[in-house]
């Protein structure tokens, strides 16, 4: 996410040293989200036997993770307001707090998709208000929110059975793999149409990129016999849209 948002910041006009400030603010926010997630899920990960988790492996204690997460959160807020001003920086702070709300409980409810939609939707105003106090184009906010929800559904699909066995909720667990995958593809289809519509006056090659990328990923998911094909195809489709956002912005 740090690399993606930094590249998009560059595409909308951010340059050195502000671009570095954006990268630092986003990185600190992502660190706070990741550390808080492992701290909150420490007991669940231990019961599930997830040895790859640092708290389960004994590499770090939940208490230390909490300290690191809170420190990174404060630093991310300070860096956001410093580099993007009160309005622009606040959008990033809200996005990070939404991610914390996901970790704190929304991830286990049918509303697990909502923090993703709102947090991703906060990224464009963070960048544009922070750059020159201008509002982002509506299409950019819409596409970011659609891609965010799609990415969440795709990311949760491989863990749906283990989450269900552990008694965890979440939109994918509640809806089931098929409905969740269908929803992700439909959202990406809408994002693809919006991106193609925006790109058409600028470059027909970009239109071809998003349309062919979406169709190719969908075809691969339908024809492949690999159990992970759907997950990987969705991530590829998300990546295609993110590249298109950078070029279109």
Tell me if 1-136 shares its fold with 138-249.
no
CA 160, chain centre distance (Å)? 18
Residues 53-71, mean pLDDT to the nearest whole number = 89
Percentage of residues of the chain with pLDDT beyond 70: 97
Domain boundaries, the chain: 1-136, 138-249
Q: What is the pLDDT of residue 50?
A: 74
CATH number, domain 1-136:
1.10.357.140
Q: Supply the mean pLDDT for the chain.
A: 90
Q: Tell the CATH superfamily of the 138-249 domain.
A: UbiA prenyltransferase (1.20.120.1780)
Confidence of residue 164 (pLDDT cuts 50, 70, 90): confident
pLDDT exceeds 70 at position 227: no
Residues 60-73, mean pLDDT to the nearest whole number = 94
DSSP 27-87: HHHHHHHHHHHHHHTHHHHHHHT-TTSHHHHTSS-HHHHHHHHHHHHHHHHHHHHHHHHHH
């Amino acid at each position: 996410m740090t690399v993606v948002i930094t590249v998009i910041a560059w595409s909308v006009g951010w340059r050195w040293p502000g671009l570095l400030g954006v990268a630092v603010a986003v990185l600190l926010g992502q660190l706070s989200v990741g550390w808080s997630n492992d701290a909150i899920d420490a007991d669940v990960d231990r019961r599930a036997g997830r040895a790859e988790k640092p708290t389960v492996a004994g590499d770090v204690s939940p208490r230390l993770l909490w300290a690191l997460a809170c420190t990174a959160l404060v630093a991310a807020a300070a860096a956001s307001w410093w580099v993007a001003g009160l309005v622009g920086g606040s959008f990033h702070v809200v996005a990070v707090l939404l991610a914390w709300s996901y970790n704190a409980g929304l991830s286990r409810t049918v509303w697990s998709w909502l923090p993703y939609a709102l947090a991703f939707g906060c990224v464009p105003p963070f960048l544009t208000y922070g750059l020159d106090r201008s509002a982002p184009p509506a299409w950019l906010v819409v596409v970011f929110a659609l891609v965010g929800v799609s990415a969440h559904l795709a990311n949760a699909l491989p863990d749906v059975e283990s989450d269900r066995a552990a008694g965890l909720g979440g939109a994918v667990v509640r809806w089931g793999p098929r409905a969740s995958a269908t929803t992700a593809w439909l959202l990406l289809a809408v994002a693809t149409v919006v991106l193609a519509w925006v790109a058409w006056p600028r470059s027909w090659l970009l239109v071809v990129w998003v349309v062919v990328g979406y169709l190719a990923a969908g075809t691969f998911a339908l024809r492949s016999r690999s159990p992970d094909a759907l997950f990987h195809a969705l991530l590829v489709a998300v990546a295609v849209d993110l590249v298109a956002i950078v070029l279109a912005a």
